[in-house]
Amino acid sequence: MIFLINMINFEDRSREKAYSNLRKVMKHWGFGEASSSIYALLSVSDRPLTAREIAEHVGYAYSSVVNELNRLLREGFLERWREGRRYVYSAETDFLKIIKNERNRLIGMLEEAKSYLQEVKTREIHELVENIEIALRYLREVNRRFEDGREAIQ
Protein backbone atom coordinates (compact mmCIF):
# COMPACT_ATOMS: atom_id res chain seq x y z
CA MET A 1 0.00 0.00 0.00
CA ILE A 2 1.24 3.53 -0.81
CA PHE A 3 0.38 6.44 1.49
CA LEU A 4 0.10 9.99 0.16
CA ILE A 5 0.91 13.05 2.25
CA ASN A 6 0.97 16.27 0.31
CA MET A 7 2.20 14.65 -2.90
CA ILE A 8 4.75 12.30 -1.35
CA ASN A 9 4.48 8.56 -1.99
CA PHE A 10 5.51 6.40 0.95
CA GLU A 11 5.87 2.67 0.58
CA ASP A 12 5.37 1.96 4.28
CA ARG A 13 3.43 3.35 7.18
CA SER A 14 6.53 3.80 9.37
CA ARG A 15 8.13 6.27 6.98
CA GLU A 16 4.83 8.11 6.61
CA LYS A 17 4.48 8.42 10.40
CA ALA A 18 8.08 9.58 10.81
CA TYR A 19 7.50 12.22 8.12
CA SER A 20 4.38 13.42 9.92
CA ASN A 21 6.10 13.63 13.30
CA LEU A 22 9.15 15.45 11.92
CA ARG A 23 6.82 18.00 10.32
CA LYS A 24 5.27 18.55 13.76
CA VAL A 25 8.72 19.08 15.32
CA MET A 26 9.57 21.70 12.72
CA LYS A 27 6.23 23.47 13.21
CA HIS A 28 6.89 23.48 16.95
CA TRP A 29 10.17 25.27 16.22
CA GLY A 30 8.26 27.94 14.29
CA PHE A 31 8.65 26.76 10.71
CA GLY A 32 5.75 26.93 8.27
CA GLU A 33 4.12 24.20 6.21
CA ALA A 34 6.59 24.37 3.32
CA SER A 35 9.78 24.32 5.41
CA SER A 36 8.40 21.61 7.66
CA SER A 37 7.44 19.44 4.70
CA ILE A 38 10.80 19.92 3.01
CA TYR A 39 12.79 19.07 6.13
CA ALA A 40 10.67 16.01 6.90
CA LEU A 41 10.93 14.78 3.31
CA LEU A 42 14.71 15.10 3.28
CA SER A 43 14.95 13.41 6.68
CA VAL A 44 13.11 10.27 5.55
CA SER A 45 14.50 10.21 2.00
CA ASP A 46 16.86 7.39 1.06
CA ARG A 47 19.09 9.82 -0.84
CA PRO A 48 19.80 13.54 -1.23
CA LEU A 49 17.34 15.36 -3.50
CA THR A 50 17.54 18.32 -5.89
CA ALA A 51 15.33 21.37 -5.45
CA ARG A 52 13.23 20.25 -8.45
CA GLU A 53 12.70 16.79 -6.97
CA ILE A 54 11.71 18.33 -3.65
CA ALA A 55 9.24 20.67 -5.34
CA GLU A 56 7.67 17.73 -7.18
CA HIS A 57 7.36 15.68 -3.99
CA VAL A 58 5.94 18.35 -1.69
CA GLY A 59 3.76 20.09 -4.26
CA TYR A 60 5.13 23.63 -3.84
CA ALA A 61 6.42 25.91 -6.58
CA TYR A 62 10.11 25.53 -7.39
CA SER A 63 10.86 29.16 -6.44
CA SER A 64 9.15 28.70 -3.07
CA VAL A 65 11.10 25.51 -2.44
CA VAL A 66 14.41 27.26 -3.25
CA ASN A 67 13.56 30.07 -0.79
CA GLU A 68 12.69 27.59 1.94
CA LEU A 69 15.81 25.52 1.24
CA ASN A 70 17.95 28.64 1.66
CA ARG A 71 16.23 29.46 4.95
CA LEU A 72 16.72 25.92 6.25
CA LEU A 73 20.39 26.05 5.19
CA ARG A 74 20.92 29.33 7.07
CA GLU A 75 19.26 27.87 10.16
CA GLY A 76 21.53 24.79 10.05
CA PHE A 77 18.81 22.23 9.30
CA LEU A 78 20.15 21.16 5.88
CA GLU A 79 23.36 20.37 4.08
CA ARG A 80 23.95 21.15 0.40
CA TRP A 81 26.64 20.10 -2.06
CA ARG A 82 27.15 19.83 -5.79
CA GLU A 83 26.66 16.63 -7.69
CA GLY A 84 27.62 17.33 -11.26
CA ARG A 85 25.91 20.52 -12.38
CA ARG A 86 23.26 20.69 -9.68
CA TYR A 87 22.93 21.03 -5.95
CA VAL A 88 21.50 18.27 -3.81
CA TYR A 89 20.16 18.61 -0.30
CA SER A 90 19.95 16.39 2.76
CA ALA A 91 18.64 16.98 6.26
CA GLU A 92 20.89 17.62 9.23
CA THR A 93 19.65 14.95 11.60
CA ASP A 94 22.01 15.54 14.53
CA PHE A 95 19.15 16.58 16.80
CA LEU A 96 21.47 17.25 19.73
CA LYS A 97 23.28 19.86 17.63
CA ILE A 98 19.98 21.34 16.44
CA ILE A 99 18.59 21.51 19.99
CA LYS A 100 21.77 23.09 21.34
CA ASN A 101 21.65 25.73 18.58
CA GLU A 102 17.99 26.40 19.37
CA ARG A 103 18.78 26.66 23.09
CA ASN A 104 21.56 29.17 22.40
CA ARG A 105 19.29 31.19 20.13
CA LEU A 106 16.67 31.25 22.91
CA ILE A 107 19.29 32.44 25.41
CA GLY A 108 20.19 35.31 23.09
CA MET A 109 16.58 36.39 22.64
CA LEU A 110 15.88 36.26 26.39
CA GLU A 111 19.06 38.21 27.19
CA GLU A 112 18.07 40.88 24.68
CA ALA A 113 14.54 41.15 26.09
CA LYS A 114 15.93 41.37 29.63
CA SER A 115 18.33 44.17 28.67
CA TYR A 116 15.46 46.22 27.23
CA LEU A 117 13.22 45.67 30.26
CA GLN A 118 15.69 46.34 33.06
CA GLU A 119 15.12 50.09 32.84
CA VAL A 120 11.34 49.76 33.31
CA LYS A 121 10.37 50.24 36.95
CA THR A 122 6.95 48.61 37.25
CA ARG A 123 6.21 45.63 39.50
CA GLU A 124 4.93 43.51 36.60
CA ILE A 125 8.01 44.17 34.48
CA HIS A 126 10.31 43.52 37.45
CA GLU A 127 8.61 40.12 37.90
CA LEU A 128 9.01 39.41 34.17
CA VAL A 129 12.74 40.25 34.35
CA GLU A 130 13.13 37.92 37.34
CA ASN A 131 11.38 35.10 35.45
CA ILE A 132 13.60 35.70 32.42
CA GLU A 133 16.66 35.50 34.67
CA ILE A 134 15.43 32.21 36.17
CA ALA A 135 14.97 30.80 32.66
CA LEU A 136 18.42 32.03 31.62
CA ARG A 137 20.06 30.41 34.66
CA TYR A 138 18.33 27.14 33.81
CA LEU A 139 19.40 27.22 30.15
CA ARG A 140 22.98 28.16 31.04
CA GLU A 141 23.13 25.31 33.56
CA VAL A 142 21.90 22.87 30.91
CA ASN A 143 24.63 24.17 28.59
CA ARG A 144 27.26 23.86 31.32
CA ARG A 145 26.28 20.32 32.34
CA PHE A 146 25.92 18.94 28.87
CA GLU A 147 28.54 20.80 26.89
CA ASP A 148 28.26 18.60 23.84
CA GLY A 149 24.80 17.21 24.64
CA ARG A 150 25.90 13.62 24.41
CA GLU A 151 26.94 13.43 28.09
CA ALA A 152 23.25 13.36 29.00
CA ILE A 153 22.69 10.02 27.31
CA GLN A 154 25.73 8.14 28.54
Residue 113 confidence (pLDDT) above 70 = yes
Residue 1 confidence (pLDDT) above 70 = no
Report how far residue 114's alpha carbon sits from residue 130's, in angstroms, rounded to the nearest whole number. Answer: 9
**What are the sequence ranges of the domains in the chain?**
3-91, 95-153
The DSSP letter of residue 24 is H
Residue 8 confidence (pLDDT) above 70 = no
pLDDT band at 33 (very low <50, low <70, confident <90, very high): very high
pLDDT band at 101 (very low <50, low <70, confident <90, very high): confident
pTM: 0.74
pLDDT band at 96 (very low <50, low <70, confident <90, very high): confident
How many residues are given for the chain?
154
> How high is the pLDDT of residue 153?
57
> How high is the pLDDT of residue 150?
58
The DSSP letter of residue 93 is -
Pick the CATH number of 3-91 from 3.40.1390.20, 2.60.120.260, 1.10.3720.10, 1.10.10.10: 1.10.10.10
The percent of residues above 90 in pLDDT, for the chain, comes to 62
> How high is the pLDDT of residue 9?
61
Residue 147 confidence (pLDDT) above 60 = yes
Q: What share of the chain is helix, strand, coil (3-state, %, to 5)?
A: 65, 10, 25
Q: What is the mean pLDDT of residues 50-78?
A: 94
Report how far residue 80's alpha carbon sits from residue 69's, in angstroms, rounded to the nearest whole number. Answer: 9
pLDDT band at 121 (very low <50, low <70, confident <90, very high): confident
